[in-house]
């Protein structure tokens, strides 16, 4: 892939579960330091696409390129190491660990992850651990969760869990951040907080974001480009103003199966 501005590219990705084609011949590009949106009705394959990109599933057909190298078939932990981090639609936190430990877990290159260092090198990893804890607290502060640092996630509300899920992803210092409906089921005040945090990260750190979102007003306000999926296929793409005004977008929500034929 020669395009310097492209950070992620998929070529004809396909994945099926039994007879169902969850992702069907999807080729798309995500550009560096932009916010890309992904919309589509339930079951249209958005989350499956994220699962393919992060190595949770292996594609049956197609290839994935990230930051100039092919990542097709790599396991999730190696894809994380290259800089792709995702959040989950339904928060997958560690419920018997403190909120702060949930964050620090995501930090990169932890010296104490090694069992030998854990036993013999406490002094080697401790300083780094302090640094990560401080950064974790800063992130919690920014998300308004600082007072919960020592609590367990089960004490948080649903919206706060979403924020924590986002905070954990930020802690991992991604180059490409995949967010799976970070604002679903979240109060409007928290929604703007989530999206402001994401925009700030893009502006300050040049982060690239690929985001699944249902609220079209939010998509219009924050994204630079939108992809629409329908029944596993890439259905529409373009700048948000154009895509959201496209009559075909409404037709997939209203007409369902009939919409595909029209495309």
Residues lying near another protein in the complex (CB under 8 A) are found at 54, 56, 75-77, 80-81, 85-86, 88, 92-98, 100-101, 104-106, 108, 110-115, 117-119, 122, 125-126, 129-130, 132-133, 150, 168, 172
Q: Is the Cβ–Cβ distance between 150 and 98 less than 8 Å? A: yes
Least CB distance from residue 3 to another protein, whole Å? 27
Which of 100, 96, 76 has the alpha carbon at shortest distance from 86?
76
Cα–Cα dist 130/108, whole Å: 14
Read off the tokens for 63. 């290839």
- Nearest to another protein of 26, 79 (CB atom): 79
Least CB distance from residue 73 to another protein, whole Å? 14
Cα–Cα dist 80/176, whole Å: 10
Least CB distance from residue 251 to another protein, whole Å? 35
Residues in the chain: 263
Cα–Cα dist 19/41, whole Å: 19
Which of 215, 140, 222, 226 has the alpha carbon at shortest distance from 185?
215
- Nearest to another protein of 77, 204 (CB atom): 77
Least CB distance from residue 97 to another protein, whole Å? 6
- Nearest to another protein of 126, 196 (CB atom): 126
Least CB distance from residue 214 to another protein, whole Å? 22
- Nearest to another protein of 110, 251 (CB atom): 110
- Nearest to another protein of 45, 136 (CB atom): 136
Least CB distance from residue 176 to another protein, whole Å? 13
- Nearest to another protein of 43, 112 (CB atom): 112
Cα–Cα dist 10/210, whole Å: 13
Q: Is the Cβ–Cβ distance between 61 and 13 less than 8 Å? A: yes
- What are the b/e assignments for 183-205, b being 16+ CB within 10 Å? bbebeeebbebbbebbeebbeee
């Amino acid at each position: 892939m020669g395009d310097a501005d492209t950070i992620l590219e998929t070529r004809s990705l396909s994945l099926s579960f039994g007879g169902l084609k969850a992702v069907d011949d999807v080729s798309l590009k995500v550009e560096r330091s932009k916010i890309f949106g992904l919309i589509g009705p339930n079951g249209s394959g958005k989350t499956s696409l994220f699962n393919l990109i992060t190595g949770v599933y292996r594609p049956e057909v197609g290839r994935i390129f990230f930051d100039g190298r092919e990542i097709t078939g790599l396991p999730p932990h190696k894809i994380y190491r290259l800089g792709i981090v995702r959040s989950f639609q339904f928060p997958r936190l560690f419920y018997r660990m403190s909120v702060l430990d949930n964050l620090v877990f995501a930090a990169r290159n932890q010296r104490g992850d090694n069992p030998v260092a854990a036993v013999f090198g406490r002094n080697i990893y401790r300083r780094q651990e302090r640094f990560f804890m401080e950064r974790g607290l800063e992130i919690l502060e920014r998300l308004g969760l600082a007072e919960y640092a020592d609590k367990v996630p089960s004490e948080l509300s649903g919206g706060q869990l979403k924020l924590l899920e986002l905070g954990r992803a930020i802690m991992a210092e991604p180059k490409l951040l995949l967010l799976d409906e970070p604002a679903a089921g979240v109060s409007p005040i928290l929604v703007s907080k989530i999206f402001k945090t994401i925009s700030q990260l893009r502006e300050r750190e040049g982060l690239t974001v690929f985001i699944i979102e249902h609220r079209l007003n939010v998509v219009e306000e924050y994204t630079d480009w939108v992809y629409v999926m329908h029944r596993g296929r890439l259905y529409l793409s373009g700048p948000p103003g154009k895509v959201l005004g496209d009559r075909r977008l409404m037709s997939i929500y209203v007409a369902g199966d009939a919409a595909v034929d029209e495309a």
